A and B are shown apart, each in its own frame.
Chain A
Amino acid sequence: MSTETLTKSTLRELSAIAEGSAAAAAIDGRSNIMSLSQTTEDAVLKPQETGAWSHDVRAALAARIAALNGETALADRYCALIEDARVADVADPLRSGKAQGLEKICDFMDKVAVQTRDIDAQDINALQDAGISDADIVRLCEINAFMAYQVRVLAGIRLMTEGRT
């Protein structure tokens, strides 16, 4: 794992909000939420109990989901946390994850991120049949779920600030 630490607020830094703007005031009014969002990022990306998914794999999957959502700067941020070069490919949605033995994981994560509504029991069964433990399935879903939140807060803040000085 890289020694680089996540910034105090990924959301705040990447959304480049002008200080003193109405958007900045609105966001400061929810400073508790911003702070809890960062605590959650740390819990999802750098937990003490990683299960089957190392910090590097988590960063790569987070980057992959950010890229699927068109959030390039966020994807770059998570890519920079990957220390093990063998894992780095997983961050690219055009790669299958096969070389890392993560093909089924990448298929599942892509579907949960992009075609959430089409997920059914068979998708979970496929992971179980591949020997993934239930706890590790929950961990994958939490990574995906948190990223769904983070990319949308970023996209929303960007729209709030666009076209305003």
Chain B
Amino acid sequence: MSDVIRKFTRSVPDWRPRVEPIKLEDATPEQLEALQVTPSNTKISAYVLTLAHDVETLKVRSPLFNGIMYDKGGLSREERELGALAASMVNHCIYCAAVHASRHAQIAKDTSVTDELFAKGTKADLSPRNRAIFDFAHALSQTPSEASPEQMSALRAAGLDDAEIFDLILSSALFGWANRLMHVLGDPVRKGSE
């Protein structure tokens, strides 16, 4: 399995499932509804076809995911991506880390933060605000959580209000979830290595 990627990267890899995804032609009406298959939308990723094995959860997952990452107000999109990235680094989910590091770089119009994190991990040189956000999300992603009152105080000292802090809790916790699907059910592989 030499095509499996083991190092963090911003280049989003392919994802190869370790279980057999459902076949679209065999999908039940409930699965088709959850997959949002329409005549103009028949390209469904292997990941989503894998999750379609548990259709009741898949149906509620997408609105929750989108709400946590994209709803207006509160923490900036860029900083929610940083929370997602911290969790994905703890869980070594190469695929999620790539997607969310690349989104961070895209939104921030700057690759330096994610370059630094991938090069130096927790020892990365970050701005005080990014430092507080990354450290809290990284600690919350341990099992059990190692997030501390001192780290909560550091978030407040860095200027985050309660709405922003709650969004950070949600976005990093959400990747505790996503990583346990993406990293467990499949491998990140070089593009086109199917």
Contacts and interface: CB of A to CB of B under 8 A. Distances in A.
Given A36-B67, A69-B145, A153-B169, A29 B73 contact: yes
B152 A159 contact: yes
Interface residues of A, number: 57
B84 interface: no
B149 A116 contact: no
B19 A36 contact: no
Interface string B164-194: 0111111011101111110111010000000
Contacts of A32: 67, 71
Given A39-B60, A138-B51, A148 B166 contact: no
Given A141-B184, A145-B178, A149-B176, A30 B64 contact: no
Contacts of B73: 29
A135 interface: yes
Interface stretch (A2-10, A42-50, A83-91, A94-102): A42-50
Residue with the highest number of chain A CB atoms closer than 10 Å, among B54, B61, B63, B161: B54
B18 A43 contact: no
Given A69-B143, A138-B54, A116 B91 contact: yes
Nearest to B87: A152
Contacts of B68: 33
A38 B148 CA distance: 26
Contacts of B141: 152
Contacts, number: 175
Contact of B184 (A43, A48, A119, A157): A119
A117 B138 CA distance: 14
Nearest to A120: B187
Residue with the highest number of chain A CB atoms closer than 10 Å, among B93, B166, B169: B166
Contact of B144 (A70, A119, A135, A150): A70
A163 interface: yes
B194 to A, nearest CB: 16
A138 B173 contact: no
Contacts of B64: 33, 36-37, 39-40
Interface string B34-65: 00000000000000001101111101110110
B103 interface: no
A134 to B, nearest CB: 4
A145 B177 contact: yes
Given A40-B61, A68-B143, A152-B140, 9 more contacts: A26-B166, A69-B143, A117-B90, A134-B20, A135-B53, A138-B51, A144-B184, A146-B57, A155-B140
24 contacts: A22-B162, A25-B162, A29-B74, A32-B67, A32-B71, A33-B68, A39-B64, A40-B60, A49-B56, A116-B92, A116-B183, A117-B92, A117-B183, A119-B183, A124-B18, A134-B53, A145-B177, A145-B180, A148-B143, A148-B176, A148-B177, A152-B140, A153-B170, A156-B147
